[in-house]
Amino acid sequence: MALTDKDIKKLSHLAKINIDSKDEKIVLSKLEGIIKLIDTMQQVDTNNIEPMSHALDITQPLREDVVTEENQKNDFLKLGPESNEDYFIVPRVVE
Amino acid sequence: MSWDIVIGIETHVQLTTQTKIFSGASTAFGMPANENACLVSLAYPGTLPVLNKEAVKKAIKFGLAVNADIAEYSVFARKNYFYPDLPKGYQISQFELPVVNNGFLTIGDNKKIRILRAHLEEDAGKSVHGILNNQTGIDLNRAGTPLLEIVTEPDMSSAQEAIAYAKKLHNLVQWIGVCDGNMQEGSFRCDVNVSVKPSGSEKLGTRREIKNLNSFRNMEQAINYEVNWQIEQLEDGNEIIQSTVLFNPDTGETKAMRSKEEANDYRYFPDPDLLPLKINQEDIDDIKSSLGELPEASIKKLIEDFKLNNADASIITSNKQTYEFFQSLISEGLDPKITANWIVVNLFAKLNDNELSIEESPINKNQFVLLIRRIMDKTISNNAAKKIFDLLWEDSHADVDQSIEVLGLKQVSDSSTILPFVQEVIANNQAMVEQFKSGKDKAFNALVGQVMKLSKGKANPGQVSEILKDELNKA
Amino acid sequence: MKNLSLRELNLGLSNKKFSSEELTKFFLNEIKTSNPKINAFITVDEEKSLQQAKDADKRISQNDMNELTGIPIAQKDIFCAKGWKTTCASKMLDNFYAPYDSKVIELFNQHGAINLGKTNMDEFAMGSSNETSYYGEVRNPWNLDYVPGGSSGGSAAAVASGMAPAATATDTGGSIRQPASLCGLTGLKPTYGLVSRFGMIAFASSLDQAGPIAKSAEDCALMLKVMAAHDERDSTSIKHNVPDYLKNLDSPINGKTIGLPKEFFNDDLNQDIKVILEQVIDSYQKIGVNFKEISLPNSHLSIPVYYVIAPAEASSNLSRYDGVKFGYRAEEFKDLEEMYLKTREQGFGDEVKRRILVGTYVLSAGYYDAYYLKAQKIRRLIANDFKNAFNECDLILAPSCPSTAFKIGDKTEDPVAMYMQDMYTISTNLAGLPAISSPAGFLNKMPVGFQLIGNYFDEATILNFTHQYQQITDWHQKTPEADV
């Protein structure tokens, strides 16, 4: 499946990665190379085959509903790129 | 032209667990910002989700309570999108294989509202706007709180039905103990999908989803506004555009959110950090046996066993605390009808006036039992009981019997005391006696009233009637 | 101390031939000398390491000692270690000091091992040459113009150059085995779920698995014994009775059967490497091992399947790097959207961004079925191939890599050519199976490795077979010293 400039813009938007317009061509050509590689899967007939999400056939373990985490707010806020004494700060979110 | 209204509801129910759905951080409400934000809540590199057993149990419990199928295998998926209060950049939810499928609730006159599915997912954090100019503060206390999202088919056809369903659901989730039901704190959040179509048309109209409904009153207002707005648009020849709208409680209007540049593409896929959730029949049976009596069964019991009318039965089962209170009173040997009447008429009026729940009632159970017992043994009249009730409301330490004494509310049932009053009234009201004899029943009631007045309200009205009847026959 | 095995180091410590502090200082000194040329470490913190060494010496003096107490181990910079800068070789985490220990670090700490430093790697473990690191490429100790392989290139180069006795690493598509092979070391990728992923920064969650890179199968056995443990904080961690991998090393293997997948020994295989693999087969036959041709008919699909699944998972795993809670945030932006776009544009390197975009593409509406779902289905076919194969043999022998190490810069402009590096390693990640790479010889003075793939949780057999081979060969004892 051939990629277009529009696809690159959409991917950039979805993945929230800015792609400089001067780099668009090279990004496009490298992605096309990869997509050509993965397109070799299309030759395989996969009718009636169960998709496999996990290597092992096991099920989800459950955790007891007991508080194990302590308040480390001050340490964690300090690791934020921008924070005040209560919140992580980001540019205003417009709804 | 007439229109059909089509409504479906998605409800986000916060499950009452001690800890978050995928981590051991507390879910306590009202903590200072970010104190419940642990490594997992903050999506620190290398952290992983581990599923809370209690959240699963409560989802199953709900499923059983709405007669749904519990999936033997369900799968957690990632819903990918960027938002500052979504720390991982994806929400863990269930997409293709939810834990609960195909249930229903009935409303009103046995109308079935189908529940398509209910799935487990995690709540997002909160964005606090206006911390400083052009800044938003991120509080991740709520991030990871377990949610059960309950999705109906579009089976409701009026605001009333929608409210009836929402109230029924609201009662049920609290009744079975999976949610505290606090709408103001966001524990029970309804998003309502509304569309209209020409009456009888098979094809559904385009729907708009109303968000930000934190009370049933808002919900009703919002739906009515939205329905009228959509009909107006269509009658003016405009098209409805599928969108999300916010209800503004100040204006009573709904308004579309600023539409995003591109449609969302959430790129759902199974979360590789979580394995398929397997639920054994054994576990289901265990939970089933602990489910207890559900509101439907309780109503039936009240009507069939205690002979209450439908309205009283509905009110008494409108929440579990009231029902349990009623049952505890009955177990003391109180008359069900008198008790029900007292709860529905007197207690509820007071609680509503004071915006209290039944647990917050200042009148304790023992006082209530004694009060009703005194009505039953005819020590006091219903009217006198109301006076005592008011007194108890104000003074929670007041003693019922003592108050009856002090206020002189004891009913006189002794015929030797009542007889002279009756004789006096007959003597002084010959005109009315004549009217009674000529067949006017009203006159009899007036005579009873006179006797009561003369006894300063203390005479037992039943006793009065009997003696009066005897005396009139003699006269 | 430089070329001693872990068992020998343990003996030296317990016999008080040297203290942990002396040992740690020795390796810190080696790092001072060699690291500027090789760039195997991102972070070295002498103070922290020496403090741990002093604590270990105290334990040793109190006879509270196990196999790893007092021994310095290099840790791949993918493992969160409390108080240590933990970068995953990304600008995104250049300022990130982990507030907690990963399970792997916790286990080494509990055993009294010394954290010798955090090793360089491909950014977020995405790469096969260690050239995508924000901290610069790592050089192969056998020839400084060559890559050490990746993504655990720093770990491999640190051990190969004698800067560390052993190192931790992770393997998503070959990231332990390929650098081990290219640096003349033994590297083991365990069964998926054997080692906890808690605190190990995720690349592709359903494929990532931690394991050791060391000088021998015996050292790997000792390392794995420490690393393998059930962990309730990782839902995919398996409750499994961890055997004593050391005990089993000397078990006889005569009469056992190794499978040779015909799809790996076809005309595409480099003829010189084929010759070396035939010598390996020869060695095993001499000690009574039988060989049998088997078939892994879908193995040629491993690379395309992997480059759908791994980027898809990665695109989602790496969404948390958004400049809000930790890590890098762009300096200038006009609003939230631009903050995201620029933070992620500037914070990630080209290969990481490429894989995020590919992953976003294969999951997006309209492509999910054709790519992601298809890949998941073929993944099952690949896993079933192995299931069938293990009905016929105890282990499978395969090349580790299609070639020896290549020159730095040779493949950086051609991602697909780079991806081919993992053609023999990737299928085991997709199936979740354990596999080891062991040194088998040299081509043009550069190391060549071979791979043994085992059934689920059969690490003991893999280590046993590898150890037996290493008892009758000395390729694993060669060091590049003369050249560095």
| Single-letter code of the amino acid located at A68 | T
Pairing of the two strands B208-213 and B243-248 = parallel
First to last CA, chain C: 18
Note whether B364 and B389 are within 8 A (CB): no
pLDDT digits (tens, 9 = 90+) for C251-281: 999 999 999 999 999 999 999 999 999 999 9
Angle between helical axes of C459-472 and C271-286 (0-180°, round to 10):
90
- B366-372, Cβ contacts within 8 angstroms, sequence gap of 24 or more: B367/B392, B367/B396, B367/B398, B367/B400, B368/B329, B368/B342, B369/B329, B369/B332, B369/B334, B370/B400, B370/B401, B371/B342, B371/B400, B372/B329, B372/B334, B372/B335, B372/B338, B372/B339, B372/B342
Report which DSSP code applies to C228.
B
Residue of chain C minimizing CA distance to A50: C377
Per the CB < 8 A criterion, the answer to whether B41 and B140 are in contact is: yes
**Helix or strand (DSSP H, E) at C181:** helix C177-182
Q: Is residue B279 scored above 50 in pLDDT?
A: yes
B137 and B182 co-located in one domain: yes
C62 domain residue, yes or no: yes
Are B33 and B214 in contact by the 8 Å Cβ rule? The answer is: no
Rg (CA), chain B: 30
Helices (H) and strands (E) in chain C, counts: 15, 11
Does a cis peptide bond (omega within 30 degrees of 0) precede residue B215? no
Among residues B319, B50, B133, which one has the least CA distance to residue A69? B50
Across the interface, do C364 and A76 touch by the CB < 8 Å criterion?
no
Q: Say which residues have a Cβ less than 8 Å from residue B321's Cβ, sequence separation at least 6.
A: B357, B358, B359
Cα B25 to chain centroid distance, Å, stands at: 29
Are residue B259 and residue B128 in the same domain, yes or no?
yes
Interface of B with A in 248-287 (CB under 8 A): 257-258, 261-262, 265, 267, 270, 272, 274-278
Pick the residue from chain A with its C-alpha nearest to B89: A15
pLDDT of residue B259: 58
Q: Last residue of a domain, which of B283, B317, B346? A: B283
Separation of alpha carbons B92 and B33, rounded Å: 22
Place of tokens 């007292």: B342
3-state secondary structure of B466: helix
pLDDT of residue B398: 85
Task: Report residue C328 as tokens.
Answer: 């890098």
Where is average pLDDT lowest: B16-25, C59-68, C475-484? C475-484
Residue C434: closest CA among chain A residues belongs to which residue?
A55
| Distance, CA of C184 to CA of C178 (rounded, Å) | 10
Token pair listed for B133: 């100019």
Range name among A57-71, B427-441, C339-353 with the lowest pLDDT average: B427-441
The 3-state DSSP class for residue B295 equals helix
Q: How far apart are CA B249 and CA B251, in angstroms?
A: 6
CATH code of the domain in which B433 resides: 1.10.10.410
Residue C484 has pLDDT above 50, yes or no: no
Same domain, residue pair B232 and B362 = no
Distance (Å) from the C-alpha of residue B276 to the closest C-alpha of chain C? 10
Whether C373 is in a domain gets the answer: no
φ, ψ at B39 (rounded to 5°) = -55, -45
Q: Count other C-beta atoms under 10 Å from residue C66's C-beta.
A: 14
**Selected residue with higher pLDDT from C394 and B387:** C394
- C72-76 and C114-119 strand pairing: parallel
Q: Most C CBs within 10 Å: which of B53, B131, B273, as the mutation test of the C interface?
A: B273
Contact C99 B44 (CB under 8 A): yes
Distance between CA atoms of residues C99 and C327, nearest Å: 13
Closest listed residue to residue A55, CA positions, set C436, C376, C370, C260:
C376
Closest chain A C-alpha to B63 CA, distance in angstroms: 19
> Chains A and C: how many Cβ contacts under 8 Å?
168
CA gap C137, B57 in Å, rounded: 51
Partners of residue C195 on adjacent β-strands? C228
ipTM of the prediction: 0.97
Residue B355, pLDDT > 70, answer yes
For residue B451, which of B430, B420, B473, B474 has the smallest C-alpha distance?
B420
Sign of CA dihedral B400, B405, B411, B413: positive
How many residues are present in chain A?
95
Q: Specify whether B253 is located in the same domain as B372.
A: no
In angstroms, the CA B76 to CA B119 distance is 9
Cβ atoms C390, C256 nearer than 8 A: no
Q: What is the mean pLDDT of chain A?
A: 94
Total domains in the fold of chain B: 3
Q: Domain locations in chain A?
A: 5-43
Q: What is the total count of domains within chain C?
A: 1
C398: which 2 tokens? 């395969």
User: What is the C-alpha radius of gyration for chain A, rounded to an integer number of angstroms?
Assistant: 22
Of B267, B283, B299, the residue at which a domain comes to its end is: B283
Nearest to residue B227, comparing CAs of B166, B163, B158, B165?
A: B158
The residues near C415 (Cβ < 8 Å, ≥ 6 apart) are A30, A33, A34, C351, C354
3-state secondary structure of C127: coil
Query: Domain span at residue B177?
Result: 3-283
Residue C202 lies in a domain: yes
Chain length of chain C: 484
- Parallel, antiparallel or unpaired: strands A62-63 and B51-52: parallel
Considering the domain architecture, whether residues B111 and B250 belong to the same structural domain is answered as yes
pLDDT score of C187 more than 70: yes
If you average pLDDT over residues C186-211, what whole number do you get? 98
C324 closest CB neighbour out of B84, B267, B268: B84
- Where is average pLDDT lowest: B307-316, B404-413, C35-44? B404-413
Residue B174 has pLDDT above 90, yes or no: yes
Residues C73 and C167: beta-carbon distance below 8 Å: yes
| Interchain CB distance below 8 Å, A65 and B42 | no
Q: Which residues of A touch C373 (CB under 8 A)?
A: 51
Pick the residue from chain B with its C-alpha nearest to C201: B46
Phi and psi at residue B323, in whole multiples of 5°? -65, -45
- Per residue in C88-103, pLDDT tens? 999 999 999 999 999 9
For B311, counting Cβ atoms within 10 Å of its Cβ (0-12 exposed, 13-18 middle, 19+ buried), the class is exposed
Kindly list the residues from chain B whose CB atom is less than 8 angstroms away from the CB atom of residue C318: 89
CB C477 within 8 A of CB C463: no
Residue of C nearest to B136 (CA): C336
DSSP state of A39: G
Contact C364 A90 (CB under 8 A): no
Q: What is the mean pLDDT of chain B?
A: 92
Q: What is the pLDDT of residues B189-215, one digit of tens each?
A: 999 999 999 999 999 999 999 997 989
CB contact under 8 A, C415 and A33: yes
Whether pLDDT at B261 is above 70:
no
| Contact with chain B for residue A84, Cβ under 8 A | yes
**Rg of chain C, C-alpha, whole Å:** 21
Would you call C246 exposed, middle or buried from its count of C-beta atoms within 10 A (0-12, 13-18, 19+)? middle
Q: What amino acid occupies position C277?
A: L
What gap in Å lies between CA B142 and CA B145, rounded to an integer? 6
Residue in B46, B140, B269 nearest the CB of C199:
B46
Report which of C481, C440, C484 is spatially closest to residue C217, judged by C-alpha positions: C440
Active-site amino acid positions of C: 76, 151, 175
Distance CA C416, CA C418 (A): 5
- For residues B241 and B94, membership in a common domain is answered with yes
Pairing mode, if any, of strands C167-171 and B73-74?
Answer: unpaired
Neighbours of B438 (CB within 10 A): 8
Those chains having 3 or more beta-carbon pairs within 8 angstroms of chain A are: B, C
Mean per-residue pLDDT, C198-227:
98
Distance from CA of B190 to the nearest CA of A (A): 19
**Cα gap C110→B113, rounded to integer Å:** 57
> Does residue C278 lie in a domain region?
no
Spell out which residues of chain C touch residue A17, defining contact as CB-CB under 8 Å. 341, 344-345, 348, 353, 356-357
The answer on B8 and B105 residing in a single domain is yes
Question: pLDDT value at position B324?
Answer: 93
**Is B216 found in the same domain as B187?**
yes
d(CA B360, CA B355): 10
Distances (CA, A) of B33 to B43, B86, B143, B295: 17, 15, 11, 37
Q: Are B393 and B373 in contact (CB under 8 A)?
A: no
Are residues B323 and B353 both part of a single domain? Answer: yes
Output the pLDDT for position B258: 65
The C-alpha of B32 sits at a distance from chain C's nearest C-alpha, in angstroms, of 17
Judgement on whether residues B245 and B349 belong to the same structural domain of the protein: no
Closest Cβ opposite residue B24 in set A60, A68, A76:
A68
Q: Are B396 and B423 contained in the same domain?
A: no
Residues 6+ apart with CB under 8 A from C311: C204, C355, C356, C358, C359, C362
Tokens 């302590």 map to which residue?
A70
Give the β-pairing of C257-261 and C290-294.
Answer: parallel
Q: Do C235 and B84 touch (CB under 8 A)?
A: no
Q: For residue B78, which phi and psi values (nearest 5 degrees)? A: -100, 130
- E strands present in C220-303: 257-261, 290-294
| Amino acid in the structure at residue B318 | S
| Domain co-membership, B257 together with B344 | no
CA C332 to CA C297: how far, in whole Å?
Answer: 52
Extract the tokens encoding A75: 């340490």
Tell me the per-residue pLDDT of B85-112, one tens digit each, with 9 for 90 and over.
999 999 999 999 999 999 999 998 889 9
Write out the residue range of the structural domain in which residue C162 sits. Answer: 6-255+393-483
**Domain CATH for C151:** 3.90.1300.10
